Amino acid sequence: MLRQSSTLKMTWKLLWVPFLLAAWALPTTSSLHPDQPKVLLVAFDGFRWDYLYKVPTPHFHSVMKYGVHVKQVTNIFITKTYPNFYTMVTGLFAESHGIVSNDMFDPVLNKSFSLDHMDIYDSEFWEAATPIWITNQRAGHSSGAAMWPGTDVKIHGTFPTRYMPYNQSIPFEERVAKIIEWFTSKEPINLGLLYWEDPDDMGHHLGPDSPLMGTVISDIDNKLGYLIKMLKKAKLWGTLNLIITSDHGMTQCSEERIIELDQYLDRDHYVLIDQSPVAAILPKEGEFDEVYETLAHAHPNLTVYKREEIPERWHYRYNRRIQPIIAVADQGWHVVQNKSEDFMLGNHGYDNALPEMHPIFLAQGPAFRKNFTKESMNSTDLYPLLCHLLDITATPHNGSFQKVQDLLRSAAPRTTPDGKSTTPLHGRTKPKEYEQEESYAYFIGVSLGSILVIIFFVIFIKHLVRSQMPDVGAVHPEIVQPLLHA
Ligand SMILES: [Zn+2]
């Protein structure tokens, strides 16, 4: 009897084992992606895609060798800083996220926005979209931002969990130190955003064709080397998915290629909202036709559009902050009101189909393939990729996870029956095949769990039968029977 009761106790204890085994075998969201969910997104402003080959860039090339590289990233029109930075973290075109330029005017708010003023801290300009740091926080995670444009603005009443108010004079090393501190703190962030102003500043100043740009690019490569060294020191390297990209490229300008609006139009007829290379023009009341007709025939290197005629491919039409007329300069041309204005040897903002406007894109980490080169992607696809890496549900966007999932180690290229993007702006936000992947894993998990339970019971019964066996070696059915009902 004593022996029987201790066997019963052991039986009850052992009964937990199959359930624990089954629970272990059942897939959870995190077990689907064991490498998740740490992501560090780094942007070097104005890093053109081919700067990688201008001078030796061993640290960039190391990331390419041990990670992935996309040769041509089509960013969004206009190829300016603020619109593109907001696209990277929302997956939306400028007409949808509302940051249509570095300088804009909203006729309903009756407010201006300018990179050079405090207007950028006005939440109302940003709230047509929800950036990824907020979505990440709403999912219960923490985000940290070191100077990433827009991250020190209160959007939908929220700041990133950790952030640095923008201050251009703060060195790169200090920004890196903050990011690492946040990733390794007791309540760590899982999403880091790191911004650096160059090579954009020097690209404007010197022009991308200047031999002096080589030194600037080498310096950026050293900065990347420093970041990698510090990530290794903090033991984050190898567990964190690092993405290195930029907002746009840069093209060479010349004082020989200037379009001077004062030569054609009286300033009394219009207000110039945004300048080179996309002049955003707000005609004064009753002056639209005259302004348009005059500009349309002004200069062979200036293409003038009424807002409703802006090419569809630019996705730059349906927003009240896009002015009634835009005049777009050909690559390498400047639009100014008067030649006495500041001149830059390098500029960007032109047609996003021009390769010189395209930024770099590299990534390395547990989620990414090794030594893999992809020909092209859209910058709107970065957002669903980030959401996938962070395992959060994307808000509606213009990108496609399907188009970039071949960058990932675990996701073989998949196609949907209609071949269209699985993440349209107004449609579902989680690709269908991702759910399929989950249900497959669930099925396998359940099957594996059930098999383990069955195996356990077989072993358990065998064990029980043996333990109840008299020394003589014969099994007495009366002893075994009640235990089987236990
Ligand atoms: Zn710039």
Q: Tens digit of pLDDT for each residue in 77-121?
A: 999 999 999 999 999 999 999 999 999 999 999 999 998 888 899
What's the CA-to-centroid distance between 249 and ligand 1, angstroms?
A: 9
Residue 332 Cα to ligand 1 midpoint, Å, equals 14
Q: Which of 74, 79, 81, 87 is catalytic?
A: 81
The reply to whether 276 falls in a domain is yes
Mark whether 27 and 173 lie in a shared domain: no
Sign of the CA dihedral running 169, 173, 174, 176: positive
pLDDT of residue 459: 57
Domain boundary among 346, 373, 394: 346
45 lies in some domain: yes
Residues spanned by the domain of 269: 258-346
Both tokens assigned to 114: 């300018």
195 shares its domain with 328? no
* Domain's final residue, options 288, 319, 346: 346
What spacing in Å lies between the alpha carbon of 38 and ligand 1's midpoint? 29
Same domain (yes/no): 234, 295 = no
The Å distance, Cα 208 to ligand 1 centre, comes to 12
pTM: 0.79
Residues 208 and 314 in one domain: no
- Whether 416 sits among the annotated catalytic residues: the reply is no
Residue 325 lies in a domain: yes
Residues 133, 270, single domain; the answer is no
Distance 109 CA to ligand 1 centre (A): 27
How far is residue 303's CA from residue 333's CA, in Å, rounded to a whole number? 12
Q: How far is the CA of 244 from the centre of ligand 1 (A)?
A: 18
Quick count: other Cβ atoms within 10 Å of Cβ 242? 24
Q: How far is the CA of 79 from the centre of ligand 1 (A)?
A: 9
Segment among 71-80, 135-144, 183-192, 405-414 with least mean pLDDT: 405-414
Report yes or no: 43 and 196 within 8 Å, Cβ to Cβ: yes
Q: Are residues 83 and 145 in the same domain?
A: yes
Between 460 and 303, name the one with better pLDDT.
303
Q: What is the pLDDT of residues 345-363, one digit of tens each?
A: 999 999 999 999 999 999 9
SS3 category, 419: coil
Return the half-sphere exposure (C-beta side, CA atoms, 13 A cut-off) of residue 102.
15
- Would residue 486 count as lying in a domain? no
Residue 303 sits in the same domain as residue 280? yes
Asked if residue 480 is part of any domain, the answer here is: no
